[in-house]
Structure formats: C-alpha cells, structure tokens
Structure 1
Amino acid sequence: MQRIIQVLWPSFIAAGVMDIVLFTLLDPMALIYRDTLLFTTRLGAYSLGFFLFWLFGAVSSALTCYFQCSTAQLNKICKSSEPKK
C-alpha cells in the first residue's frame, strides 16, 4: 500500500501543478480543430487535462520504482507469484 501511495501522491501533486500552469497559459475554449470546439465546457477540459497529467505522472513514477528494484528483489517477487506445486 505504501508503494502505491509513493507512486500516486507525487504524480497527483505534479498533475495539479501542470494543470494550473497549462490552463493559466491556454484557454480550453480557444482550442479548435477543423472549425469545431474540442471541449464544450472548461471544466471538462480541466478534468481531462488533470487526469491525463496524473496518468503520465503515475506511469513515470511506477516505472522509476520498477527500474529501481535490484534483480534479487525482482526474482523474489517472481518466485512468490508462481503457483505452488
């Protein structure tokens, strides 16, 4: 559980900061693709941006945790997940 919190909490904070920075500089209602608005509401754009930033941050943090493990730790995890005979 602690590992999950270590991954999700920093990515949550980073997503909040990135969302603030991005939408301070960019108005989501000004995003137009082929003469069509991409978002119907600002709240929808803010929410989508936040969750995408959170996803990217969580994946990045999870990969960092994974690659930080030693081979002995990875072998121990793999052995414990094998079915017992």
Structure 2
Amino acid sequence: MSQQIPKIQKVVAVLWPSFLTAALATILFFTTFDPVLLGELAGYGEISRLGGYTIGFFLFWLLTAGTCALTCYFQRPCDKPGPLA
C-alpha cells in the first residue's frame, strides 16, 4: 500500500528550508556587498538599502526554492525499466 504525502507537506518541505537558506544567504551576501552600490553599478539608479535587501532576499529564496524543488523531484523513485528491444 502506497502512503501519499499531503500536498501542503510537500510545499512546506520546499519553502521552509529554502526560506532559511535564503535568509542566511542574504545575511552573508549583504555583509559583504552594499545594495545601494550594487544598484548604482548595475545601472538601476537609486535604490534604498531596504529595497535592495528585499529584492536580494526574494531572489535568493527563488533560487533556493528551485533547487529544493528539484531535489524533491529527483528523490522520487524511477519507473522500472522495461526489457530492451
């Protein structure tokens, strides 16, 4: 009998670890780089530090959520291969 994992548990298994990882990445990245200076160098004009931190956090969260989702996807068992023709 196959036990199904609830969909909300699957979503939380991706979003929660990626949230924590994004928070750590944001702290480490912006300890080294100033978001105001990065915005000027990239040609985006004037950006507030809080805006830079927010954009950076959500980009890190998107990146880490994608990698967590891929990890969950690749953990699924494969179909049994059929006979070779």
| TM-score normalised by the chain length of structure 1 | 0.75
Q: What residue in structure 2 maps to residue 33 of structure 1?
A: 41
Q: What residue in structure 2 maps to residue 63 of structure 1?
A: 70
SS in structure 1 at match of 2:47: coil
Q: What residue in structure 2 maps to residue 12 of structure 1?
A: 19
Q: What residue in structure 1 maps to residue 56 of structure 2?
A: 49
Alignment deviations for residues 34-58 of structure 1 (CA, whole Å, 9 cap, x no partner): 7x45452111100000000000111
Structure with more of its chain in strand, by fraction: 1
Gaps of 5+ in 2: 1-7, 80-85
Over 3 Å counting, the alpha-carbon distance change for 1:20 and 1:68 in structure 2 is same
* Deviation of the 1:6 alpha carbon: 0.6
| TM-score normalised by the chain length of structure 2 | 0.75
The one-letter code sitting in structure 2 at the alignment partner of 1:12 is: F
Identity, in percent, stands at 46
Moved over 6 A (4+): none
